[in-house]
């Protein structure tokens, strides 16, 4: 005979206080676990959104990020002459040569942090149409002017329209604020490529080149031309989205490992709590268990009933933990991107795989916490259990 599920629910309700305490412990552990995964996924999502699957990035091989990549002027000219590069309505190649540097700015709440300053050409607005002005105007390429991402504007001092920033021996004026669909570009400052090269005395050498092909079906053909050109052997071409996805791997991986390690430690406390709750339940229901056995219920039925009770507690805690963690999507965090060594703002992000992983984690806690008490209940001797009353 099978013990009906309502028996489990009745016992769950009969011991509300201990059950609530155990559910709360599991809820907190699942909340931390889910928040960690959401944080790592948020970093990935932000950086992947930074790149476009329709753009190519050219950079030096083995460079860890844009700031460690250098493309000299002669190589830029060779790349610009390769076939399959798209042209705009005026016949100009759709290429943006981009020097990338790091400066320090003061945080509104105090302290300093690194900021990415990206030099771009006017072609960049066609290559990255997701970049939209929300205040002010675009910079004049003939002047020392800048536009700032909305994340930078929100967090750092001196980033209002009309404010001036001093770096590389020059004074730069902020003339606009832009957004870029919550991508990493919103954590950058943009200015004219040539003006930036002049200020930093870098000649014509840029960090990367971003370009668009006339047809992405010609990607393999373009790469063949690129790879067979001996003067371009120090460089590689990557889809822009792929490059920024790779940039997220180290930071997101570290967040996952650290968060999982902390969560596992917390989970021992939650599992011990579940185990104590279930042992108490077994001790208080010894006669009841003996009666069930005398009525013909088998040991495995007793084991499954108590294990089901433990799982009910853990699954409920898991659902509440995920529900509470889902509200983190309304919050943003800033951290240092280890590849660019610059500020990166991102939002917590929830996905179906995170929900499944969190529920699986709660399920495992329920199994581990309830297994030994369930075995104890199943192994009780019928006569001794009835005598206990």
- Tell me: the pLDDT tens digits for 208-223? 999 999 998 999 999 9
Rounded to an integer, the average pLDDT of 39-56 is: 84
pLDDT of residue 331: 85
145-149 and 188-192 beta bridge pairing: antiparallel
d(CA 131, CA 135): 12
Helix (H, G, I), strand (E, B) or coil at 101: strand
pLDDT of residue 175: 96
pLDDT of residue 11: 63
Q: Could you tell me if 263 and 285 lie in one domain?
A: yes
Cβ–Cβ under 8 Å, residues 119 and 193: yes
Write b or e for each residue in 278-304: b if 16 or more Cβ atoms lie within 10 A of its Cβ, otherwise e: beebbeebbebbbebbeeebeeebbbb
Map tokens 């995920």 to a residue: 322
d(CA 37, CA 253): 10
Question: Where is the domain boundary, 209, 233, 257?
Answer: 233
Structure tokens at 146: 């800048």
Q: Residue 171: which H helix or E strand, with range?
A: strand 170-179
Rounded to an integer, the average pLDDT of 177-194 is: 93
Q: Could you tell me if 302 and 213 lie in one domain?
A: no
Rounded (10°) CA dihedral 47, 48, 51, 54: 180
| Entry pTM | 0.79
Question: CA 2, 308, 274: angle at the middle one, nearest 5?
Answer: 150
Rounded to an integer, the average pLDDT of 250-262 is: 78
| Residue 344: pLDDT band with limits 50, 70, 90 | confident
Q: Could you tell me if 152 and 174 lie in one domain?
A: yes
Q: Could you tell me if 164 and 198 lie in one domain?
A: yes
pLDDT of residue 365: 83
Q: Could you tell me if 39 and 77 lie in one domain?
A: no
Q: List, in sequence order, the alpha helices (H) in the chain.
A: 5-14, 16-50, 73-80, 124-127, 150-155, 193-199, 219-228, 240-284, 286-294, 299-326, 352-378, 382-387
321 belongs to a structural domain: yes
Q: Could you tell me if 281 and 187 lie in one domain?
A: no
239 belongs to a structural domain: no
d(CA 371, CA 146): 62
Its domain, for residue 133, covers 62-233
d(CA 107, CA 151): 12
Question: Where is the domain boundary, 199, 233, 267?
Answer: 233
Least confident of 75-84, 134-143, 154-163, 367-376: 367-376
Q: Could you tell me if 84 and 30 lie in one domain?
A: no
Question: Where is the domain boundary, 175, 210, 233?
Answer: 233
| Cα dihedral sign, 97-101-103-107 | positive
Q: Could you tell me if 107 and 137 lie in one domain?
A: yes
Structure tokens at 213: 């092909």
Domains of the chain: total: 2
Q: Could you tell me if 144 and 32 lie in one domain?
A: no
pLDDT, mean over the chain:
84
57 belongs to a structural domain: no
Q: Could you tell me if 39 and 67 lie in one domain?
A: no
| Residue 79: pLDDT band with limits 50, 70, 90 | very high
Q: Residue 342: which H helix or E strand, with range?
A: strand 342-347
d(CA 107, CA 173): 18
pLDDT of residue 259: 77
177 belongs to a structural domain: yes
- How far is residue 259 from each of residues 27, 33, 34, 254, 352, measured CA to CA in Å? 16, 7, 9, 8, 19
161 belongs to a structural domain: yes
Q: Could you tell me if 77 and 215 lie in one domain?
A: yes
Cβ atoms within 10 Å, residue 141: 14
53 belongs to a structural domain: no
Q: Could you tell me if 196 and 255 lie in one domain?
A: no
271 belongs to a structural domain: yes
């Amino acid at each position: 005979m099978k013990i009906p599920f309502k028996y489990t629910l009745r016992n769950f309700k009969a011991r509300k206080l201990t059950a609530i305490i155990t559910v709360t412990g599991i809820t907190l552990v699942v909340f931390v676990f889910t928040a960690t995964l959401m944080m790592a996924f948020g970093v990935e999502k932000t950086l992947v959104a930074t790149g476009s699957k329709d753009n190519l990035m050219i950079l030096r091989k083995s460079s860890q990020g844009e700031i460690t990549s250098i493309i000299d002027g002669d190589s830029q000219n060779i790349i610009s002459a390769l076939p399959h590069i798209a042209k705009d309505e005026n016949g100009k190649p759709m290429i943006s040569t981009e020097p990338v540097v790091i400066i320090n700015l003061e945080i509104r709440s105090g302290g300093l942090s690194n900021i990415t300053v990206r030099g771009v050409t006017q072609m960049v607005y066609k290559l990255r149409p997701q970049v939209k002005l929300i205040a002010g105007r675009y910079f004049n390429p003939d002047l020392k002017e800048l536009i700032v991402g909305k994340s930078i504007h929100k967090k750092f001092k001196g980033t209002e329209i009309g404010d001036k920033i001093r770096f590389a021996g020059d004074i730069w004026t902020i003339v606009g604020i832009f957004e870029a669909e919550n991508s990493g570009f919103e954590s950058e400052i943009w200015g004219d490529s040539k003006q930036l090269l002049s200020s930093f005395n870098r000649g014509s050498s840029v960090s990367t080149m971003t370009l668009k092909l006339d047809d992405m079906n010609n990607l393999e053909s373009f790469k063949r031309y690129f790879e067979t050109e001996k003067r371009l052997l120090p460089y590689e071409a990557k889809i822009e989205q792929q490059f920024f996805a790779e940039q997220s791997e180290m930071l997101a991986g570290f967040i996952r490992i650290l968060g999982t390690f902390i969560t596992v430690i917390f989970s021992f406390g939650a599992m011990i709590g579940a185990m104590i709750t279930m042992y108490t339940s077994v001790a208080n229901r010894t006669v009841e268990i003996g009666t069930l056995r005398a009525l013909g219920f088998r040991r495995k039925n007793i084991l499954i009933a108590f294990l089901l009770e433990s799982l009910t507690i853990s699954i409920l805690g898991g659902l509440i933990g995920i529900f509470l963690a889902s509200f983190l999507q309304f919050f943003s965090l800033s951290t240092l991107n280890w590849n660019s060594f610059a500020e990166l703002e991102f939002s917590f992000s929830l996905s179906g795989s995170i929900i499944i992983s969190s529920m699986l984690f709660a399920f495992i806690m329920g199994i581990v916490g309830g297994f030994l008490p369930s075995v104890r209940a199943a192994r009780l001797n019928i006569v001794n259990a009835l005598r206990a009353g």
